[in-house]
């Protein structure tokens, strides 16, 4: 369920980053552990991080960063989407479960599912895409479960680290016909 700047799921709360989140946001941005083996740390500096949150740059209609929290307000990661500048009807999303102890519990799948509902239902996206490292089998299984299809394998730059990965995509027709999105508890 969507409430202004929050998305509530059965087990999670995804909300806008606020200034009080800056120390955690910065720590995660520098942590290899928070990024795991398939993502590269962004290494955001304090000034840029503060400016990004204060200016609202990470909370615009076409670009949002959510802090993912358990229902008891324990932060576990981030979920981001942006609309492609060349094709505003296509959203791209990225998830990071930063706390390794919270991985493989379905939180990433749940967070992505409810963001996808938001992107298609509220933003009227025509398609949603996600890039994954070629070896990130858990995320690939998640995307397949959520109705995405493998579009292509490509080389990409992840914060100046060259990677090989897959591009997955789901269009609005697959979203509309997928029972995963029709039968959920809010």
Asked whether 147 and 167 are in contact (CB, 8 A), the reply is no
Closest to 35 in 3D by CA, of 150, 153, 161: 161
pLDDT for 3 equals 62
pLDDT for 186 equals 46
Calculate mean pLDDT across residues 73-101.
96
Q: At what angle do helices 46-55 and 22-30 cross, to 10 degrees?
A: 130
Asked whether 142 and 26 are in contact (CB, 8 A), the reply is no
CA-to-CA distance for 97 and 75, rounded, in angstroms? 9
Closest to 81 in 3D by CA, of 18, 39, 123: 123
* Per-residue pLDDT tens digits for 34-54: 999 998 999 999 999 999 999
Asked whether 107 and 61 are in contact (CB, 8 A), the reply is no
Q: pLDDT exceeding 90 applies to what percent of the chain?
A: 88
Q: Which stretches within 22-129 are classed as H helix? A: 22-30, 32-35, 46-55, 107-121
- Dihedral angle sign, alpha carbons of residues 101, 141, 144, 160: positive
pLDDT for 157 equals 85
CA-to-CA distance for 96 and 18, rounded, in angstroms? 18
Q: Domains in the chain, please, with CATH?
A: 2-182 (3.40.630.30)
């Amino acid at each position: 369920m969507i409430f202004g700047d929050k998305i509530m799921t059965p087990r999670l709360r995804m909300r806008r980053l606020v200034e009080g989140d800056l120390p955690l946001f910065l720590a995660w941005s520098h942590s290899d552990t928070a990024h795991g083996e398939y993502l590269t740390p962004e290494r955001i500096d304090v000034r840029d991080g503060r400016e990004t949150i204060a200016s609202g740059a990470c909370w615009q209609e076409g670009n949002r960063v959510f802090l993912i929290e358990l229902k008891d307000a324990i932060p576990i990661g981030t979920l981001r989407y942006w609309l492609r500048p060349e094709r505003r009807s296509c959203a791209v999303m990225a998830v990071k479960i930063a706390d390794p102890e919270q991985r493989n519990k379905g939180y990433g799948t749940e967070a992505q599912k409810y963001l996808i509902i938001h992107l298609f239902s509220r933003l009227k996206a025509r398609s949603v895409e996600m890039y994954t490292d070629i070896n990130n089998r858990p995320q690939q299984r998640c995307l397949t479960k959520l109705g995405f299809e493998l579009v292509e394998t490509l080389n990409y730059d992840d914060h100046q680290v060259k990677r090989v990965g897959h591009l997955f995509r789901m269009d609005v027709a697959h979203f509309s016909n997928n029972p995963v999105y029709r039968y959920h508890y809010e």
